[in-house]
Structure 1
Amino acid sequence: MAVRGDDGALGDDASRVEGHCDERFAAVRAAFEDNFRERGELGAAVTVLVGGETVVDLWGGWADPARTRPWERDTLVNVWSTTKGPTALCAHLLADRGQLDLDAPVASYWPEFAAAGKEKVLVRHLLSHRAGLAGFRAPHSLDELCDWELTCDRLAATEPWWEPGTRSGYHALTYGHLVGEVVRRITGVLPGDFLRQEITGPLGIDFTLGVPGEETGRVAELEHPRVPPTAEQAAVFQQLSPLALAALLNPVVGADGANSPQWRAAQVPAANGHATARAVAALYGIFAGRGVLGGHRVLSAEAAERVREGQGSCRDLVLGPGFAHDTEVGLGLWLSGANGSYGPNPRAFGHDGFGGSCGLADPEAGLSLGYVMNRMGPRVADDPRKMALVDAVYRSL
């Protein structure tokens, strides 16, 4: 497979796609290779599980923009908001064990949260981006976002931007601290530690919040090419409300920030999960397998189903200007719906990460997918590379 050289031209001397692909899913391999040939991929991996079996596990390209490190089987990369699925999984595991009531006020676990009129905000509002806390009202730096106690204290003191429970407004960076602090109040440990102790460690899943120091050598470097916005993108930006600007740009965290030792050392459970595609497919595979992964029951079937319990379709208060349609969030993940973000099954669900990555779960098909990459595209969701892979998977079933 040829990929683009330093001058942007296709070169025959570049690295080849490696891994395994069942012959039934040859279209997925073709789409993955086309992402390099036609869609500007730098380095990436994709894994597909069907019925708990790995039918696709491919990787290729480069782990750094300078093209000095080939993407390896165990290369990790920051997956941005694809992190939110595993963070929600922590809450659902506690609910399944009877330690967390999704219909209880958040303040019953986190008393300080009742400030500024939030005493009636429910745990389910946190999970479904309906808590009204999509952004900080005062400037909040990257340094401060990486400070767990400070960020949680500020969120607890913040007045909601809208009436909680009435509409969704994408909590791009605050989601993980809100859900994660409830997890911490119940368990006594940060969500990344709980996830490792209870799920990823026992099951050998290569996913962490932040990156342990000894693993930093495996991490791919993110690249976010600066390209002038299209007229359509500029028009959308002009429509962004103060709420949307606060949610998406306070603080601004781009590729440079995510490549920093500071980001990798912190736990930001909305956005700094580091994973292989194999790990993303496994974690979303817990939902696709109705609570079971590789013969191990992680959640009850009821708890696994609950994550896609729709909370009402609406034009999202933060992301609405960027979409031509209403969207619906379940209790932690987005529903595919009629727009097909996660394939043709409207009840499939998943989560995209800023720039392209994706985790997908379709219990009806027994299917999960993980896609990770290091060259970020301009879209918040439905990157063309991801959509090509999703389309190829469903054509192969």
Structure 2
Amino acid sequence: MTDLQKDVQAAIDELVETGAERGVQVAVHQRGELLVDAVAGVADPETGRPFTSGTLVYSTSTGKGVTAAVVHVLAERGALDYDLRIADVWPEFAAHGKGRATLRHALTHAAGVPGVPVDTTPEDLCDWDRMCAAIADATPWWEPGTAFGYHPQTFGYLIGEVVRRVTGKRVSQVLREEVAGPLGVADDLFFGVPEPELGRVARIEDSSPAMEMPAEMLAEIPFFRVVDGYTAAPTRAMPDAAFSNRTDVLTSDIPAGGTMTARAVATMYDALLGGKLVSPERLRELSSAAVTGTDEVSAMPTSWGLGYAVGLLDRPTVFGMFGSGGTAAFADTATGISVGVTKNRASAGEYGTVERIAGIVLGTR
């Protein structure tokens, strides 16, 4: 056992023993070598089922990095181009002045359609055609390409529908055939989880009771504001534990999120770094800041590459995605390190576990 494995294992054991976490997975690769495969705690507190390296975890927006990887692999083999106009393959999307929006705009959260109908339910999010129709009919919040703002749910449908229109296949199938399968992680990296695999999925729990905020307070938060009947964060379909444990959500393609093991998603980032999925030139492009400034939806200073947040953990060479429940997957182009952190206690907006693991891993050469 390496010192890095021991250090990470000790950290997550302590997090579980102190009650800060229920169950945690951590995987670390460097230049093709698995350095850390650590796990602690239980996957389901009701049954006592232990967390293992093969436990699947619904990881919300950590999955966006997987969705982006599908696009980059297709671009690598010439099936599509980042400057493809979305409406050229999805004509309905041109409605209300969106005809100039490109795949690059979608990847950088600049397409101008961050919202879904304000009354969107979990059942709606599970209905691919319904959601794509709503997004196609949306009036843009800004002219595509002139600003950017986080697209919490629409990112997945925008990317996924372009993939479907170009390939004729659902994005989950393309993920399996073009990314997960070739990397040997087809049974550990999903958008929609096959029903026979549901018994491997961790039970998500909220770290604290949900707080009810009055409508007037919600309206002051950019994420929840309503524009022409659309909102970036529909309150009836928030990604809390109840949402994350629903069978219909887990088995549907909602590729703004994903269900995975830490080992599988770290493998995917390692493959991006190592040239197994894309060329060095494409890696430089996707992991470099394409847009930088104040995000129109989060109101936070942000830098986006092509589908990835850039400069994570205050390191300019780190790119990846964090999930709203405190999960993350990222890679460092400077060190060749890739990391996956999954867990089943959803701590909204709190990334203490990720930051602790990153401190151990990125501080070690």
TM over 0.5: yes
Maintained 8 Å contact 1:65/1:223: no
Shift of 1:68: 1.7
| 1:111 alignment partner AA | P
Equivalent residue runs for 1:77-96 within 5 Å: 77-96=57-76
Does 2:331 match 1:319?
A: no
SS of the counterpart of 1:314?
Answer: strand
The match for 2:262 is 277
Distance in 1 (CA, whole Å) between partners of 2:145 and 2:343 is 34
- Per the normalisation by structure 1, the TM-score is 0.84
Distance 1:235 1:100, change over 3 A: same
Whether the 8 Å CA contact 2:106–2:158 is kept in 1: the answer is yes
Q: How far is 1:149 from its partner?
A: 0.9
Looking at structure 1, the residues matched to 226 and 306 of structure 2 have their Cα atoms a distance apart, in angstroms, of 22
User: 2:364, 2:197 → 1: CA distance?
Assistant: 35
* Separation in 2, partners of 1:314, 1:39: 37
Q: 1:313 is paired with a residue of what secondary structure?
A: strand
How far does the alpha carbon of each residue in 1:237-264 deviate from its partner, in whole angstroms, 9 at most, with x for none?
8433615992122533321122111112
Residue in 2 aligned with 1:57? Answer: 37
Pairing 1:390–2:358 present: yes
Return closer, same or farther for 1:65/1:315 CA change in 2, 3 Å cut-off. farther
Verify the 8 A CA contact 2:73 2:178 in the aligned structure 1: no
Task: After TM superposition, give the deviation of residue 147 of structure 1 in Å.
Answer: 0.6
CA distance in 2, matches of 1:243, 1:349: 30
Deviations 1:319-351 (A, max 9, x none): 22xx5xx11011100012xxxx33x53121110
Q: Is the Cα–Cα contact under 8 Å of residues 117 and 159 in structure 1 kept in the other structure?
A: yes
- CA root-mean-square deviation: 2.3
Give 1:4's aligned residue. Answer: none
Query: Any idea what the Cα deviations from partners look like across 1:157-184, whole Å, max 9, x if unmatched?
Result: 1111122212221111111000010000
**Partner Cα separation in structure 1 for residue 53 and residue 79 of structure 2:** 37
Of residues 238, 243, 264, the one that matches 1:252 is: 238
Aligned-residue offset at 1:115: 0.7
Q: Distance in 2 between matches of 1:239 and 1:182?
A: 31
**How do 1:1-397 residues align onto structure 2 when only pairs under 5 Å count?**
21-38=1-18, 40-66=20-46, 68-205=48-185, 206-227=188-209, 238-240=220-222, 242-243=225-226, 246-249=231-234, 251-271=237-257, 273-289=258-274, 291=275, 297-320=276-299, 323=300, 326-336=301-311, 341-342=312-313, 345-379=315-349, 383-397=351-365
Amino acid at match of 1:279: A
Q: CA deviation at 1:44?
A: 1.1
Q: Is the 8 A contact 1:102 1:123 kept in 2?
A: yes
Identity over the aligned pairs, expressed in percent?
37
Q: Counterparts of 1:24 and 1:176 in 2: how far apart (Å)?
A: 35
Is this contact kept in 2: 1:168–1:329, CA < 8 A?
Answer: no
Q: CA separation in 2, counterparts of 1:283 and 1:216?
A: 22
- Report Cα offsets for 1:172-210 as digits up to 9, x if no partner: 111100001000001111111101011212321120112
Q: Is the 8 A contact 1:286 1:304 kept in 2?
A: no
Q: Which moved more, 1:38-47 or 1:77-86?
A: 38-47
Instruction: Please give the alpha-carbon distance, in whole angstroms, between the structure 2 residues aligned to 1:37 and 1:327.
Output: 35
CA shift at 1:286, angstroms? 2.1
| Amino acid corresponding to residue 143 of structure 2 in structure 1 | E
Q: Which amino acid aligns with 1:300?
A: S
Q: 1:377 to 1:253 in 2, by over 3 A?
A: closer
**5+ residue gaps in structure 1?**
1-20, 292-296
**Structure 2 CA distance for aligned equivalents of residues 305 and 203 of structure 1:** 21
Pick closer, same or farther for the CA change 1:156–1:219 going to 2, 3 Å. same
Q: Provide the C-alpha distance between the structure 2 equivalents of 1:85 and 1:388, rounded to a whole number of angstroms.
A: 21
Q: For the residues of structure 1 that align with 2:114 and 2:18, how far apart are their CA atoms?
A: 36
Provide, for residues 123-180 of structure 1, a one-character-per-residue CA deviation record: whole Å limited to 9, x for no partner: 1010011111111245222111111111111111111112221222111111100001
TM-score by length of 2: 0.91
**Separation in structure 2 between the aligned mates of residue 197 and residue 345 of structure 1, nearest angstrom:** 33
